[in-house]
Amino acid sequence: MKKITIGITHNSKYDNYARWIAMEPGTQVVRLGYAYDNFHDISRCHGILLSGGDEDIHPRFYNCPEYLPLCTGGVDERRDEFELRIVDYAISNRLPLLGICRGLQIMNVYCGGTLVPDIRAAGKPDHSRLAEGSDRHHSITVPPDCLLGGIAGLHEGEVNSSHHQSADRIGEGLMANAISDDGVIEGLERRDNHARSFLLLVQWHPERMGDQTNPLASTIKTAFLDSVR
């Protein structure tokens, strides 16, 4: 089996992502983060995982600075800038890319999209983690004839949830591939995935779903790593 290296963007729960990816035979990971001053390490990577994290993307990056008071997770503009560089490199060099939670959001912003700064303030039910710290769970619908549906082999399912922001206006070249029952965008992918490198973005956390046999966890990782190989 071909040995591959996956670059994973740093956050406070980096180890969760690293374990999830590195448990696969022939796979190693490298941490990418501005605090490590190691953008150059991306040249070693065969694929990129954009991780989640507590920090919200500063709304100035999607031309809505007035949203800043609603960014209750705090912001880290150095992380935003670093990860936008990561995305640009990955796209320019046709590296397969998987985005999880905040990773979906930074990719949507890179493509010119915008974010809902706070889902509850927008009148939707809470999608953030429960008071005791565990994830919420809800159902999603996956439209026919999309990459995610082909990977997971289903058109509806249940996912975990731990976010207070979501994609709003979808970025250029992207389309929604999963919607929650209350109308929140839960996944994005390219409109034309066949002509470009692998790109899949999900708002939930497959790396920490308790049931790793759930097609909305296991098959996503498998499809990503297969595309890298």
Tell me if residue 205 is catalytic. Answer: yes
DSSP 72: T
Per the structure, how many domains does the chain have?
1
| pLDDT of 156 strictly over 80 | yes
Tell me if residue 101 is catalytic. Answer: yes
83, 186, 189, 207: the active-site residue: 207
10, 45, 71, 101: the active-site residue: 101
pTM greater than 0.85 (yes/no): yes
| pLDDT of 149 strictly over 80 | yes
Residue percentage of the chain with pLDDT more than 70 = 99
Tell me if residue 207 is catalytic. Answer: yes
Domain that holds residue 75: 4-228
Averaged pLDDT score across all residues of the chain: 94
Going by C-alpha positions, the residue among 31, 41, 45, 38 that lies closest to residue 3 is 45
CA gap 4, 208 in Å, rounded: 22
CATH value at residue 166? 3.40.50.880
Element (H, E) at 166: strand 166-167
